[in-house]
Chain A
Amino acid sequence: MSAPQGQPAEISGIDVMRGLGQVEAKGFWADAWSRVLRRPMAVAALAWIGVIATMAVFAPVLANAHPYRMVRLDLPEGDPARVTWPLFAHLTPTDLLLLAAALVIGPYLALPLARPRAARLRDAFALALQAGLAVAACYGLSSWANDNDAPAWLKAWNANAWFPYAAAAAVAAVTCLGGFLLVPPERWRGRMVIAALVIAAVAVASGSRWKEPLVNLERYVELENEGKATAIWPPIAFSPQLSRSDLYVKPPLTRVGDALPEFRGTEFGQRMMWLGSDALGKDVLCQMLWACRLAISIGLVSTGIAVIIGVTVGALMGYFGGVVDLLLFRVVEIFMAIPVLFLLIVAAGVLPRNTYVMMAIIGCVSWTGAARFTRAEFLKLRNQDFVQASRAIGLPLRNILFRQMLPNGVTPVLVDSSFAVAAAILAEATLSYLGLGPDGQASWGKLLSSATGTTGTFVWWLAIYPGLAIFLTVLAYNLLGEALRDAIDPKLRKAAH
């Protein structure tokens, strides 16, 4: 029921019954959200997170040492190798899927469709979750299959042209449908459509880029300088992989031509290193952009893992109480006995240096907060009538815990998770600073560590920019968390005003 527009000509009895000028109450989350949006700091925080997320998605198209389009002038007209699109050919499956998802999900959420926005948000979430899991699993399989130590039968299969597509599709199918076995969806048809979409997309994206090609990023520049090719370059024509020892530690706003006189007058010489270069001769700005990806994904994924583990353990503890509670609480205590960062340092130090492993470590170490919040809520809820009723009509345990009780007890966990994302980003930055971060991945923490460590002297642009980026992102998540907490907690809401 919407509020009547203006004053009605005649007030009928029905109007009176409806309540004159009544406004339909907002849902709990919609109300909380509108309260968050009333705070300018929270809006600024959201905007910053939006910028970082956009950069994370579009970094490969914005900052890349591959040209968009290259025309080889030395090859005859009509040769298929004459006109190439190197940047698009070298996008990884993750890049491709992220770009595709951004281009599909963005309009899907923004357009005024008949389907309610909350449902569309759920769809987008399901799509992102399934695609993320499938891509991670495909990455695992492909790096195993392409490894030199792979078993012989796998190598033989991997030699077939169809194998990458089939394997990627199979892995995607297993991860998507396996998820359904664990958590059966409410409406099968819609979820199956999404799963089919994900499987097709992952099969094409992962299958066509099964093996990481070896590339020589300096070759493009050479070809262009020799006059053998013309190229269209991205706005920032550097990659985190492009490292030239002759561009060692150049201050911001240096043109390549100023540092290397032999390139003066060429396209390469004209390129500006806006934020300077680091101790490996890599452009800082392009690394900053690519590192957005690590920050955003580490924060969200590891917090997701922590919430899933914590909510499950906490739900079991709170629902059963007694011996289960006592035993599981000992496990929680083990994790509380030692500072999280300390455990992270040990784990990251001995396990493989890999983004996925890093996410898993941070998630598996920091779940105790979510577990304690859920436990407390479930202890309150377990004796309420609706829970007793669900038990009486014989609903399965999974249903009682996650369908009936969880929606009523998840608020504190969700509010806390914003702070958890901030903590995860801090943890990643700290580990990368200590040299325990993922290998071969641009990271703000890694950049920061080269400000004092490797060069021997203090390099201010390697300290200021990455540090500022970490600080602002962490601050944004913390501000968002505070705004959410104030919006949801009625006691605090009263105290704040």
Chain B
Amino acid sequence: MGTYLARRLLLMVPTLVGITFLVFMLIALSPGGIGASLRVSGGQMEASKAAQLEAYLEDRYGLDEPAPVQYLRWLGRVSPVKFGERAQVGRSGELLRMPRAVKSPPLTDWFPLPVLTVATLPDFAAMPTEALQDAYRKAANDYAQARAASVAASRAMERAAIAYAKDAGIEGAATVDNKFRAKAFAGREPDRSLAGWPTLDAAAATAHEAWQRAVLSREELESCFRAKPFPEAGVPIIPGFLSLAWPDLGTAFSRSRPVGDLISEALPVTLLINFIAFPIIYLVAIPSGVLAATRRGSWFDVLSGATYVALWSIPAVWAGVLLVGFVADAGWFPVSGLHDRASDDWTFLPSTAEDGTWIRGWLLDTVWHLCLPVACLVYAGFAVLSKQTRAAMLENFNADYVRTATAKGVPRRDVVLRHVFRNSLLPLITMFVTIFPATLAGSVVVERIFSIPGMGSLILEAISLRDRELILANTLMIACVNLIALLLADILYAAADPRVQFE
């Protein structure tokens, strides 16, 4: 059992990597690519300002790197097994990492990089923790500013170089979306007589100066970081090389909040809806399937079969719209949301207020709000499950052991429930594998229709904003939930059938 579980869990890893890679490449290859919404946030800004802002954001989120590198970085952060230097946990719980290398300004052939004079750094290792943390905060602040300035100056230099290339007749210095292409300048000699040259020269000087400052402040930050001002995250396996730590899902671009927080708010809502829906599906479908099988050919059998096929074909969106339009509009149920606006002040259970009015309480309020969404989610599952129950029961009714049982005088009730039904249970457990993913996905739609703040609303928002972190984390979570549910179904299957062994 233990080995089986371990193997199944390990097999999940390549699947999760595969699915997140698929989704990542889908975003990366789509028009606009990753962070498209970040790029348009420049809006009405002046062109050079917008370019600088874009460069800053690209640098901050690593959007200027090739897509596979970005994916590997994300994977490294999410993986519980970390390589290299361990991150440190800052005071408010945020993860601090070794600062990344500063990119040098372009056109180093024409403008050689200055030789850096190494400044003498304070002896961080000797500082007391309190002072070291203050020093780290200051250094991190300086570094962030210096890096942003360097990136902006480099971008300004690129723009000057593009303008210069136009004068010098250098083809292909800029891509279609006006990005700098260094390749076009390779092997060319600068022409200092052109009109664009002084601008480029000045821009290069600024860029070099900013770069120098950024590199030096990075060095200071790095040595401060090495002195370990904060406690390290996770558990070391091989110190300095391999460690275990909680996955870090990153920060959502669009909301500037940790993705982990957003998901921990949304996931319980989605799971709640699904966990309410599932018992309902099984409680309705199994008895009706059993009844249909025992009274095969009766009006109940025919009618329930026809009803379920019809229900199965009703699109969830239509059911949702009709429920909102006809049931919720009439005031019987709330139209949207998960709680009443006033529910925060209520008690958990129903109670009467001081003036004697009845308050339905937080729990009942939630149930009342969930009625329509759950109704919208369950009906499609009835058909699949009851049809399966009926077919499995019928198959067992024809089996020899049932005839034997009947022949030796076992009451019909016991034949149906103890013999046939027990042996028909197995396919019902496997049906979970079919129904669960559909219900999970269905809740995305249902959440949208009823404005419930669950995973579905989160993913739809993430997609419309092209928020890389949020989309990937959402995919990962949905896949995890789905895979764990399927694993549970397999374990239940083995528990129900002694013939099945864990292998």
Q: Which residues of A contact B (CB under 8 A)?
A: 149, 330-331, 333-334, 336-343, 345-347, 349-352, 422, 426, 429-430, 433-434, 445, 448-449, 451-452, 458, 460, 463, 467, 470-471, 474-475, 478-479, 482, 492, 495
Contacts and interface: CB of A to CB of B under 8 A. Distances in A.
A352 B31 contact: yes
Interface in B102-128: none
A352 B31 CA distance: 7
Nearest to A433: B317
B312 A339 contact: no
Given A331-B18, A342-B444, A448 B317 contact: yes
B395 A349 contact: no
A422 B321 contact: no
Q: Taking chain B's interface residues, is the majority helix, strand, or loop, or is none over half, making it mixed?
A: helix
Contacts of B22: 334
B317 A474 contact: no
A452 B315 contact: no
Interface stretch (B74-82, B163-171, B457-465): B457-465
A149 B23 CA distance: 28
Given A448-B321, A495-B394, A334 B313 contact: no
B340 to A, nearest CB: 21
A160 B448 CA distance: 50
B502 interface: no
A59 B494 CA distance: 55
A345 B461 CA distance: 11
B387 to A, nearest CB: 9
A338 B313 contact: no
B163 to A, nearest CB: 22
A495 B440 contact: no
Interface of B: 12, 14-16, 18-19, 22-23, 26-27, 30-31, 176, 309-310, 312-318, 321-322, 324-326, 329, 391, 394-395, 437-438, 440-442, 444-445, 448-449, 459-460, 463-464, 466, 471, 475, 478-479, 482-483
Given A341-B442, A345-B459, 20 more contacts: A149-B176, A334-B19, A337-B16, A337-B482, A339-B438, A339-B482, A341-B444, A345-B460, A345-B463, A346-B459, A346-B475, A347-B26, A349-B460, A350-B26, A350-B30, A422-B313, A445-B317, A452-B325, A471-B314, A475-B309
A471 B459 contact: no
A265 B483 CA distance: 65
Contact of A339 (B313, B437, B449): B437
Closest A-B pairs by Cβ, 7 of them: A339-B441, A349-B463, A341-B441, A467-B318, A475-B313, A458-B325, A334-B18
A479 B310 CA distance: 9
Nearest to A470: B315
Nearest to B471: A346
A363 to B, nearest CB: 15
Contacts of A433: 317, 445
A345 to B, nearest CB: 7
Listed residue (B176, B318, B391, B441) with the most chain A CB atoms within 10 angstroms of its CB: B318
Contacts of A149: 176
Contacts of B27: 346, 350
A339 B315 contact: no
A429 B31 CA distance: 24
27 contacts: A334-B18, A337-B18, A337-B19, A338-B479, A338-B482, A339-B437, A339-B482, A341-B438, A341-B442, A341-B445, A345-B444, A345-B460, A346-B459, A346-B475, A349-B460, A349-B463, A351-B26, A351-B30, A429-B318, A430-B317, A434-B445, A451-B321, A458-B325, A458-B329, A460-B325, A470-B315, A479-B309
A342 B441 contact: yes
B478 A350 contact: no
A349 B318 CA distance: 21
A339 B394 CA distance: 31
Contact of B318 (A434, A460, A470): A470
Contact of B19 (A338, A341, A482): A338
A452 B324 contact: yes
B444 A467 contact: no
A474 B383 CA distance: 14
Nearest to B455: A342
Contacts of A430: 315-317, 445
A331 B176 CA distance: 36
A472 B372 CA distance: 23
B313 A471 contact: yes
A434 B460 contact: yes
Nearest to B12: A337
A334 B15 contact: yes
B18 A330 contact: yes
Contacts of B471: 346
Contacts of A339: 437-438, 440-441, 478, 482
B322 A467 contact: yes
B441 A463 contact: no
Contacts of A337: 12, 15-16, 18-19, 479, 482-483
A430 B445 CA distance: 8
B479 A448 contact: no
B62 to A, nearest CB: 19
A433 B318 CA distance: 9
A347 B28 CA distance: 11
A445 B315 CA distance: 10
A346 B462 CA distance: 9
Contacts of A434: 445, 448, 460
Contacts of A492: 391
Contacts of B326: 458
Contacts of B23: 343, 346
Contacts of A475: 309-310, 313
A489 to B, nearest CB: 11
A462 to B, nearest CB: 9
Contacts of A347: 26
Nearest to A494: B398
Contacts of B478: 338-339, 342
A352 B318 CA distance: 25
A350 B318 contact: no
Nearest to B32: A350
Nearest to A469: B318
A237 B360 CA distance: 54
A458 B19 contact: no
B278 to A, nearest CB: 15
A451 B395 CA distance: 45
Given A350-B26, A351-B26, A458-B325, A340 B441 contact: yes
Contacts of B437: 336, 338-340
Contacts of B464: 349
Contact of B463 (A330, A350, A458): A350
A63 B319 CA distance: 29
Nearest to B27: A350
Contact of B309 (A330, A342, A478): A478
Listed residue (B14, B316, B438, B441) with the most chain A CB atoms within 10 angstroms of its CB: B441
A478 to B, nearest CB: 5
Contacts of A330: 14-15, 18
Nearest to A422: B313
A463 B483 contact: no
Contacts of A331: 18
A342 B314 CA distance: 19
Given A342-B478, A426-B315, A458-B325, A350 B466 contact: yes
B15 A333 contact: yes
Nearest to A476: B313
A463 B318 contact: yes
Contacts of A482: 309
Nearest to A491: B395
A478 B306 CA distance: 12
B309 A463 contact: no
Listed residue (B19, B313, B391) with the most chain A CB atoms within 10 angstroms of its CB: B313
A471 B318 contact: yes
